[in-house]
Chains A and B, each alone.
Chain A
Amino acid sequence: MTEEASPPSVSHAPMSSVIARLERELRDLWKVEPGEPTRSRACTMNLVVVTTSPAITEHYLPIVDEVTQSIPSRAIVVTMTPNDPESSLDGEAQAICGVDNLTCSERVTLRARGAACARVESAVESLMVPELGTTLVWLGRIHVDDPVFRELAEYAQRVILDTEYTSLTSLLLLSRWARDRRSKIGIADLAWTRIAVWQEMCARFFDDPQMTPLAQKVEVLRIVQMSDPGAKLGAEGGLLLGWLATRLGWRIEALGGEIRFRRGDGKAVKVELASVKRPPSVAPLALASVTLRASDGALTATGTVTRDFDGDVADVLRYRLDVNLPASGEQTVRLGANKGARVLERTLHRPAHDEALAEAVAFADKLDDDGAVVT
């Protein structure tokens, strides 16, 4: 058991006045003046988003607004800066309406500074819509013994994090914590959803019946991420490696300070982790390419998925399979605009429990311990 820390004292005006004002603002959003068109409030869930920096909040607000157009919600976006010397809580409520301006979600933005961060759970609880489910999106480092996180997670049916902002180890710890609770919480990772299109394309290498046996004959896996050489393998790369290894039945072993991968038949798999320069518009440690080479002696195939660039924005994946079969070929998949919103929406639509994610994380965590770096 971890002892809960008692909340630090807050010296200035009662924060309940902030909550009362926000509740008033929420009510006022739906007042209709004579002659004004009526707007409908739509709400199917509470979407609580917590960030630990104003920059992440600024980046994420348009994403939240877009998602709540397709999944109507009361979004409560909280920015916590616990190291701020000032202790304060403020915020505002807005209606976020669709293009027709008739159907709207509600968005409350809260800013908690310094010691007031300890009051975030209480503030959020009083602003949530009762009777509806809650999803907690935590965008920052995560510690399962953090009282704010734990208390907010108590309300949630699902916790979504982004290992881009934390670590695979914390995802693993979070999964264990969630599993041990009496009432189940689903754990999801936005990085896992982001690599879904990579997983789909890697799976496609082996869809052709003549290619399928080669899935057990992979000799080389090369993962390239967008970073400087010497950087740690990022969440996307780690998850993809963990997923491929667990699906293909590889095991990991250490020998003489080196990590080795072995297939089910005992043969070694050469895993290369490399880097390319990151364009400024792309998130750090994002995947750049993955290559699988497999051979059964008679047939050799090389499949590559590469993230390509359209101007300054990386938004195209190119699939290529080189093999002496009709399955050989090339394709392009455009990732489309506002990928962040699409990723969050898809994560919300996925089943709450994903065994493949749990297995991939457990595998990747072994690499994380070892500090896998790219060349």
Chain B
Amino acid sequence: MNDIANPLRQGLQGDRTGDACAVVIFGASGDLTRRKLMPALYNLSVSRVLPGSFAVVGVARRKKEDAAFAAEMKEGVAKHSRRKVDPALWDDFERSISYVCGDFNVQKTYDDLRAHLQKLDGERGTRENRLFYLAVPPSEFGPILQGLREAKLVSGASQPWTRVVIEKPFGHDLASAQALNDTVAAVFRESQVFRIDHYLGKETVQNLLVFRFANSMFEPLWSREHVDHVQITVAEEIGVEGRGKFYEQTGVTKDIVENHLMQLLCLTAMEPPISLSADAVRDEKVKVLRSLRQMERRVVGECVVRGQYGRGFVRADEVPGYREEPDVAKDSTVETYVALKVNVDNWRWGGVPFYVRAGKRMARRVTEIAVQFKSVPHPLFQSPDGGITPNVLALRIQPDEGIAVRFTSKEPGQHTILRDVAMDFRYGAAFGSNTPEAYERLLLDAMRGEATLFTRRDEVEEQWAFMDHVFDAWRAAGNVPPPTYSAGSWGPDAADDLLARDGRRWRKP
């Protein structure tokens, strides 16, 4: 950056705008571009945080003119943006949109792109800064990165800069993740790589750091001294929604647990970072991942439960079982539910199990982190339900983002009757519901070069290293079909047994 040299930039408290740049989206015809990326860029434009010198270039195979591409994007924004399209503001934004048609496997595509970007540098002042967004399957990463390098479209990490944003999945096991990272590293330095886990862009996930490290009353309780166990739940009501082919290759463990759920676990368990710089935060997350007790094959059977949804009722509608979904094998062994007991072997969390679960076609859509505190050491009071229930602090990620504390209170009256009450803070109630989408924050951060909310190479590889033991054990057991659970339930009975063995039970959030 040249900010230090420019005296007018010193101490300037401008808006949080990105650097002048061109955002180049590979896979511009895809769903992600229309549903998430363009609405996010449009909202950044409306919030006036896009840089003044800005351009967005779609790259895809289909032949079309700039105007046709812009019209498609407008339609997508109208449908998916959190704000209505303002015609005057859209006109301004539309001037920044253009399109380059080409096959990702043909070098001419990249030569055309370079000529186009050079033209934009002159016309829109994008100053040779490029943010390449790979909204494509990982199999396309190699040809695209190679094409960019051959076309000399890759510069350094500082002015003019080039950055690349990649979407999950970052591999399907440790070896493939390492191979993918090597492919990226052959072209870009790690500081230029922004791996998106959109969960990290969610306001409530960011608030987890604020909650833990800006409120002195909670942190002293945040350890084995006071915490009995932690439950992390990512439950969805929906099934595979036409993505049977994709799901057959992934399953819920690779789709949700290996990335989103592990990130939530890291943010819950990590030590306070020395600062909020990208590496300080990510160093602490990596330490958590390295503290996870690796699961031997024999342990996987005791600590991991799989499940696959059968027919059932969700919100009173009858829904088909997983094997009845389109593009799903009739004898599929893919799991749509998984629950794990994870041990974090470090000073803070020794002996405190983290129970994590993720599933499709569950009773309710909810993502939450619930910290259950230890029971009082000596029960003075009798509750009508037989004993005092332990305090729970629940951090709800979605829906109804917020924080709830469950504690025990006396029911008014002549007798000492105890009742559980919840102290409930809801984001929507406190701050209204028009919060930015995760992709807005993440795209802006990428344009600013702030990598705190992106996943670093070693994080990805540590996540896979931990999960690979589970996959290995499943393979060794011959990929037996997982037990079925009824759609609309909270998972298979074996998941309840996992906690019951420890004298605990799952929350029904």
Decide whether A and B assemble into one complex.
Answer: yes
The CA of A203 and the CA of B53, in the complex, are separated in Å by 13
Report chain B residues within 8 Å CB of A100. 433
Interface 1/0 per residue, B416-451 and A, CB below 8 Å:
000000000010111111100000000000000000
Judge whether A334 and B15 touch: CB under 8 Å.
no
Interface 1/0 per residue, B101-142 and A, CB below 8 Å:
000000000000000000001111101000000000000000
Select from chain B the residue with minimum beta-carbon distance to A355.
B11
The CA of A209 and the CA of B2, in the complex, are separated in Å by 7
Within 8 A of A (CB), among B1-34: 2, 5-15, 17, 20
Judge whether B13 and A207 touch: CB under 8 Å.
no
Say how far B190's CB is from chain A's closest CB, in angstroms: 26
B382 within 8 A of A: no
Judge whether A103 and B8 touch: CB under 8 Å.
no
A327 touching B125 in the complex, CB below 8 Å, given contacts A72-B432, A249-B7, A333-B48 = yes
B52 within 8 A of A: yes
Interface 1/0 per residue, A195-228 and B, CB below 8 Å:
0100111111111110010011000000000000
A215 touching B11 in the complex, CB below 8 Å, given contacts A98-B432, A103-B432, A334-B88 = no
A7 within 8 A of B: no
Judge whether B429 and A196 touch: CB under 8 Å.
no
Judge whether A196 and B15 touch: CB under 8 Å.
yes
A70 touching B432 in the complex, CB below 8 Å, given contacts A203-B8, A247-B7 = yes
The CA of A352 and the CA of B17, in the complex, are separated in Å by 20
Select from chain B the residue with minimum beta-carbon distance to A346.
B15
Within 8 A of B (CB), among A162-200: 196, 199-200
Judge whether A331 and B8 touch: CB under 8 Å.
no
Judge whether A200 and B430 touch: CB under 8 Å.
no
The CA of A327 and the CA of B2, in the complex, are separated in Å by 14
Select from chain B the residue with minimum beta-carbon distance to A204.
B52
Contact with B92, one of A203, A247, A248, A334 (Cβ below 8 angstroms): A334
A350 touching B125 in the complex, CB below 8 Å, given contacts A206-B6, A215-B7 = no
Judge whether B2 and A199 touch: CB under 8 Å.
no
Select from chain A the residue with minimum beta-carbon distance to B89.
A334
The CA of A331 and the CA of B429, in the complex, are separated in Å by 39
The CA of A334 and the CA of B50, in the complex, are separated in Å by 12
Judge whether A247 and B52 touch: CB under 8 Å.
no
Judge whether B122 and A196 touch: CB under 8 Å.
no
B159 within 8 A of A: yes
The CA of A180 and the CA of B12, in the complex, are separated in Å by 25
Say how far A32's CB is from chain B's closest CB, in angstroms: 15
Judge whether B125 and A331 touch: CB under 8 Å.
yes
A126 within 8 A of B: no
B: residues with CB less than 8 A from A are 2, 5-15, 17, 20, 46, 48, 52-53, 88-89, 92, 121-125, 127, 159, 426, 428-434
A: residues with CB less than 8 A from B are 40, 42, 44, 69-72, 98, 100, 102-103, 196, 199-209, 212, 215-216, 244, 247-249, 319, 326-327, 329, 331-334, 336, 346, 350-351, 354-356
Q: List 21 A-B contacts (CB under 8 A).
A: A40-B426, A42-B432, A70-B431, A98-B433, A100-B433, A103-B428, A103-B429, A199-B8, A199-B14, A200-B12, A202-B8, A203-B6, A212-B6, A215-B6, A247-B7, A329-B125, A331-B53, A331-B125, A336-B89, A354-B11, A356-B12
